[in-house]
Amino acid sequence: MANPQRSARRPARRVSLVAASLIALVVAGGLSLWGATAAADFVESRADRDVSAALADYDWVTVRTDGLQVQLGGIAPDEVQRFRARARAESVVGAGRVVDEMQVAAAAALATPAFEVELLRNDQGISIIGLVPTSLDRTALVERLKRQTGVAQVSDLMETADYPVPEGWEDAFAFGLRAAQLAERAKVSVAEGEVSVRAVTDNPREKLALEAALKRARPAGVTLKTDITAPRPVIAPFTLRFVKDATGTRFDACAADTDSARDRILAAGREAGVPGEPQCTLGLGAPSPRWADAAVPAIRAVEALGAGSVTISDTDVALFAPADVAAARFDEAAGRLESALPPAFSLTAQHEKADDAAKGPAEFTAVVDPGGVSLRGRITDDRMREAVESLARARFGQVDSALRSDDSVPEGWTLRAIAAIEAVSGLERGTATVTPDLVRISGVSGSQTASDTVAARLAQRLGAGARYELAIRYDRRMDPLLGLPSGIECVDRLNAAMQESEIGFEPNKSVIAGDPGPTLARLAETMQQCTDFRIEIGGHTDSQGSEGFNAELSRSRAQAVLTAMAEAGIVTGNLTAKGYGESQPIAENDTDAGREANRRIEFTLLADEPVVTEAPAPAALVKGVTDSPEAVAARVQETALVAATAAIGPALGVPTDPRLALKAATEPAALAIAPVEPKQAGTLPLEAAALPDMLAREAATRPAAGLLPQTAPVDPALAATLPAAAMLVEAATETATLPARGAVQPNRPLPRPETGAAP
Contact indicator for 307, 244 with CB cutoff of 8 Å: yes
Our CA angle for 684, 686, 481, nearest 5°, is: 50
pLDDT digits (tens, 9 = 90+) for 353-397: 765 444 445 788 898 887 788 888 888 888 888 889 889 988 888
Does residue 556 or residue 703 have the better pLDDT?
556
- β-partners of residue 438 are 435
Q: What is the DSSP letter of 445?
A: E
pLDDT tier, 692 (very low <50, low <70, confident <90, very high otherwise): very low
pLDDT at 275: 92
Backbone angles phi, psi at 466, to 5 degrees: -90, 125
Picking from 527, 368, 341, 482, the residue whose alpha carbon sits closest to that of residue 433 is: 368
Backbone angles phi, psi at 558, to 5 degrees: -60, -40
Q: What average pLDDT does the segment 534-559 reach? A: 90
pLDDT digits (tens, 9 = 90+) for 240-267: 999 998 888 999 889 998 889 999 999 9
Does residue 746 or residue 141 have the better pLDDT?
141
Q: Is 173 exposed, middle or buried (0-12, 13-18, 19+ CB in 10 A)?
A: buried
CA 740, 478, 281, 260 torsion: positive or negative? negative
pLDDT at 266: 95
Contact indicator for 156, 182 with CB cutoff of 8 Å: no
Which residues are CB-neighbours of 113 under 8 A, at least 6 positions away? 131, 161, 163
CA–CA separation, 366 and 427 (whole Å): 12
Position 169 pLDDT exceeds 50: yes
Provide, rounded to the nearest whole percent, the portion of the chain with pLDDT above 90: 19
Q: How many helices (H) and strands (E) does the chain have?
A: 26, 29
pLDDT at 485: 87
Provide, rounded to the nearest whole percent, the portion of the chain with pLDDT above 70: 74
Q: What is the DSSP letter of 276?
A: S
pLDDT tier, 739 (very low <50, low <70, confident <90, very high otherwise): very low
Contact indicator for 103, 75 with CB cutoff of 8 Å: yes
pLDDT at 197: 93
pLDDT at 240: 93
pLDDT at 310: 94
Position 181 pLDDT exceeds 50: yes
pLDDT at 743: 34
pTM (2 d.p.): 0.42
| Cis preceding-peptide flag for 237 (omega within 30 of 0) | yes
Contact indicator for 535, 574 with CB cutoff of 8 Å: yes
CA–CA separation, 362 and 360 (whole Å): 6
pLDDT tier, 728 (very low <50, low <70, confident <90, very high otherwise): very low
pLDDT at 602: 93
pLDDT at 545: 83
Position 112 pLDDT exceeds 50: yes
pLDDT digits (tens, 9 = 90+) for 43-67: 677 778 888 888 888 888 888 887 7
Position 306 pLDDT exceeds 50: yes
Position 148 pLDDT exceeds 70: yes
pLDDT at 680: 39
Contact indicator for 63, 51 with CB cutoff of 8 Å: yes
pLDDT at 700: 44
pLDDT digits (tens, 9 = 90+) for 644-660: 554 445 444 444 555 55
Picking from 520, 503, 519, 499, the residue whose alpha carbon sits closest to that of residue 511 is: 503
Picking from 718, 680, 720, the residue whose alpha carbon sits closest to that of residue 701 is: 720
Which residues are CB-neighbours of 652 under 8 A, at least 6 positions away? 678, 679, 682, 684, 687, 757, 759
pLDDT at 490: 92
Position 194 pLDDT exceeds 70: yes
Backbone angles phi, psi at 658, to 5 degrees: -60, -40
- β-partners of residue 600 are 540
Position 22 pLDDT exceeds 90: no
pLDDT at 756: 39
pLDDT tier, 400 (very low <50, low <70, confident <90, very high otherwise): confident
pLDDT at 189: 93
CA distances from residue 388 to 123, 314, 421, 459, 580 in whole angstroms, order as listed: 51, 27, 8, 19, 51
Position 9 pLDDT exceeds 80: no
Q: What average pLDDT does the segment 116-128 reach? A: 87
Position 699 pLDDT exceeds 70: no
pLDDT tier, 408 (very low <50, low <70, confident <90, very high otherwise): confident
Picking from 456, 479, 478, the residue whose alpha carbon sits closest to that of residue 468 is: 456
CA contacts within 13 A on the Cβ side of 299: 26
Q: What average pLDDT does the segment 565-594 reach? A: 89
Position 427 pLDDT exceeds 90: no
Position 116 pLDDT exceeds 70: yes
Mean of the per-residue pLDDT values of the chain: 77
CA 333, 336, 341, 344 torsion: positive or negative? positive
pLDDT at 603: 94
Q: What average pLDDT does the segment 276-282 reach? A: 88
Give the 3-state DSSP-derived string for 636-703, with helices as H, strands as E and coil as C: HHHHHHHHHHCCHHHHHCCCCCHHHHHHHHHCHHHHHHCCCCHHHHCCCHHHHHHCCCHHHHHHHHCC
pLDDT tier, 31 (very low <50, low <70, confident <90, very high otherwise): low
Which of 483-487, 514-518, 612-616 is modeled with the greatest confidence?
A: 514-518
Amino acid at position 401, single letter:
S
pLDDT at 696: 36
pLDDT at 28: 61
Q: What average pLDDT does the segment 293-315 reach? A: 94
pLDDT tier, 17 (very low <50, low <70, confident <90, very high otherwise): low
- β-partners of residue 129 are 118, 157
pLDDT tier, 293 (very low <50, low <70, confident <90, very high otherwise): very high
pLDDT tier, 320 (very low <50, low <70, confident <90, very high otherwise): very high
| Parallel/antiparallel/unpaired status of strands 467-474 and 98-100 | unpaired
- Total Cβ atoms within 10 A of residue 23: 10
Position 433 pLDDT exceeds 70: yes
pLDDT at 456: 83
CA 499 vs. chain centroid, Å, equals 34
CA–CA separation, 168 and 484 (whole Å): 54
Q: Is 722 exposed, middle or buried (0-12, 13-18, 19+ CB in 10 A)?
A: buried
Q: What average pLDDT does the segment 342-357 reach? A: 78
Lowest-pLDDT range, 388-392, 397-401, 407-411, 676-680? Answer: 676-680
CA–CA separation, 639 and 653 (whole Å): 22
Strands in 593-634 per DSSP E: 600-605, 621-625
Picking from 100, 1, 106, the residue whose alpha carbon sits closest to that of residue 51 is: 100
